[in-house]
Amino acid sequence: MKRIGIVLVLSLIVVGAAVAQDSFTVDLSKLGEVRNSEPIATPYGAFMINFPEGTFPANLPWSQYNRIRVVFKYFRSNGNEIRQGNENAFVVLVYDPTGDIAGPPQGPGPNTPVKIFNVGGSNNRSGAVSSEAGAGITPLTRAPGAIMLQRQGEGSAVRFIELVELTFFKQ
């Protein structure tokens, strides 16, 4: 019985180590502000969070990460939380925060390798960027310099966006 217990514990350690190596979750405490302090006033207004030095380990194999999970919380101007849903926000990862942060209108660009609309949309279905599995992306070529959280559209009641999780996965 003791042997079975030891084997189970060792198996869990090995499996846990393998899973841990297949993803990287950003430590949000390193980022400072993860929610905009002033309300977003324009239909496609944004809140940018720069990644300070040390956010990512120097040896992360970016070319192997092909999925991403981004989880936001959304709030009205009065501070009440808005439930996850379509057309609340979109996310843009930016290599150089001093370069072109908008990129092409409908997809990734040279400085904006990840641009995903409807964060939390479609009832958080499998394959949505905020789902457990995250969404597929073209692997990055290097560490991003910033993440832009952007309100999506004129009809959106979103005035504040808070980054809750950013995880990269190897498939």
Burial of 136 (0-12, 13-18, 19+ CB in 10 A): middle
Q: Which of 8-17, 52-61, 105-114 has the lowest mean pLDDT?
A: 8-17
Full-model pTM: 0.82
Torsion of CA 63, 55, 171, 71, to 10 degrees: -130
d(CA 89, CA 46): 9
Q: Which of 67-76, 96-105, 118-127, 144-153 has the lowest mean pLDDT?
A: 118-127
Q: 135-136 and 114-116 as β-strands: parallel, antiparallel, unpaired?
A: unpaired
Domain ranges of the chain: 24-170
Longest pairwise C-alpha distance within the chain: 64
d(CA 99, CA 153): 24
Q: What is the pLDDT of residues 80-94, one digit of tens each?
A: 999 887 778 889 999
Does 15 have pLDDT greater than 50? Answer: no
Question: DSSP strand E in the chain: where?
Answer: 23-25, 46-50, 65-75, 81-82, 89-94, 114-116, 135-136, 146-151, 160-170
